[in-house]
Amino acid sequence: MVNENQVSYIDLFAGCGGISLGLHNAGLNGLFAIEKNPTAFETLQYNLIDKRNHFDWPEWLPTTCYDINDILKNYRENLTALKEVDLVVGGPPCQGFSMTGRRNESDIRNKLVSSYIKFIELVQPDTLFFENVRGFTVGFLKGKSRSEAYSEKIVKELTDHGYNVEAHVLDFSKYGVPQNRKRFILIGSKNNDPKKFFEQIEKKKSKFLKDKGIPKTNTIHDAISDLERKHGEIDSPDTPGFKAGKYGGSTSKFQKLMRKNCDLEHPDSHRFANHRQNTIEKYEYILNKCESGKNIKKSVKESFGTKKRCMKLLDPNEPSPTLTTNPDDYVHYNEPRIMTVREFARIQTFDDSYEFKGKYTTGGKMRKLEVPRYTQIGNAIPPLFGELAGLVLNKF
C-alpha cells in the first residue's frame, strides 16, 4: 500500500534502475517501472523488486519488461484510471541524440519522445523529472542549418499540456558523482515553480554530501582504488575461464559509502577482461607514454590498428570522463586493462550491494538488440544524484 505521506512515482525507460534506486534511498514510493529490454529489467527486478520490495506494482500489470508503446496500446484505460500520481521520472533512450557517437535524427529511439508525451497525457502526474544527454539540446544538421532541438519541442509540448517547465544542463560531478557527466534535466510541474527544484538541489547538496560522509568532488582513485587487480583475484563466479578481483581496504570516504550496505565476500561483476598479450602491451605503452586525462593521439591509435574516435588514459586525480556503453574507450589509470563492470558501477554511484545481470559485453549488430552490463550502467542516471533529486522532489 502507498503511504500517503510518500511521493509516488512511475519510472519510464527505467533501464537497470539507476534513478529508482536513488528515489528509493530518498524515501519515495515506486508504483511501477517500464523497461523494454529483458536483461536490464532483470537487473532492476532482482535489486528493486525482489531484494528491496520497492515497487507497489498494480495487479493489472504483470511484472515483466514492456515497450512503452505496448503499454499505451494495451493498458490505456488502466493508465487513465490512475489517480494522484505525484511524479513521472525518466527519459527516452539517448543514443540518437548523443554528441559522443554518431547522431541520427532518424533513429527510431528518438520517436519515443512522442510516446513519452502520450504517457504524460494519460497519467497527468503533478510533476515530471526528465533526463537526457546534452545533445538533446542541439538540433540536427540539415544542410547548413539546424533543426529545432528536441529539448525545445518537449518544452513546448509540456507547456501546452499545462506544465510549468524549467530545464538546465547539469554536471553530475558537482553533486558528488566521480564523473564529469553533463545531462539535460527538465522539471515540469502543474502546481509549483520548477525553478525551485534547481534552487533547492544547489541549496541542499552540501548538507546531503556531508550526511553521506563524502567530499563534494570525488576522483576516479577515490572511487575504485580498492578494486585494483593488485589486491588479488579469484576465478570468476559467473564466467568460466575469467578472473575476478578481490576487495582491497577502503581508502576513501567514497569507497566506504559504496561498500556500506554490502555483505558480499567479493565484489559483484568485477570480472577482468581476458586481454590478448598484444592488447596488454598496447595498454602498457599507453600507461608509460601517454598523458593521462587526454585523448590518445591519432598516430598512437593508428600504430595499434584501432579506429576508435575517442580513447583516453584515465587520470586518477580527476573525476572520470563521461562513461559510455563501451568499456574500451578508457584505459585504467595504472593497470594495463579496461575497467570492470563493478568499476563502471562505482563511477556511476551504484553501491556494491547492487548486482548486475546478463552478458558483460556485446558487439556488432547485436549492440542494437542486447543491453549487457556495461551498457546498463553507461545508460543509467547516477543513483547518488537521483537520491538528491528525490529528497527535493519529496518536498516539492
- How is the chain split into domains, by residue range? 8-215+381-393, 220-363
Residue with cell 504524460: 120
Contact 23, 89 (CB under 8 A): yes
pTM of the model as a whole: 0.93
For each of the chain's 396 residues, which pLDDT tens digit applies? 445 678 999 999 999 999 999 999 999 999 999 999 999 999 999 999 999 999 999 999 999 999 999 999 999 999 999 988 999 999 888 655 544 555 455 555 568 999 999 999 999 999 999 999 998 887 655 656 567 888 999 999 999 999 999 999 999 999 999 999 999 999 999 999 999 999 999 999 999 999 999 999 999 999 999 999 999 999 999 999 999 999 999 999 999 999 999 999 999 999 999 999 999 999 999 999 999 999 998 888 888 887 777 899 999 999 999 999 999 999 999 999 999 999 999 999 999 999 999 999 998 889 888 999 999 999 999 999 999 999 999 988
pLDDT at residue 28, rounded to an integer: 98
Contact 132, 183 (CB under 8 A): yes
- Cα–Cα nearest to 239, from 332, 358, 126, 97: 358
The rounded distance, in Å, linking the Cα atoms of 247 and 31 is 36
Whether 290 is catalytic is: no
pLDDT at residue 103, rounded to an integer: 44
Q: Which of 16, 65, 94, 290 is catalytic?
A: 94
pLDDT at residue 100, rounded to an integer: 53
Residue 211, judged by CB atoms within 10 A of its CB (0-12, 13-18, 19+), counts as exposed
CATH for 8-215+381-393 (3.40.1160.10, 3.50.50.60, 3.60.150.10, 3.40.50.150): 3.40.50.150
Q: How many CB atoms lie within 10 A of CB 238?
A: 12
CATH code, residues 220-363: 3.90.120
Query: Could you say which DSSP state residue 256 is in?
Result: H
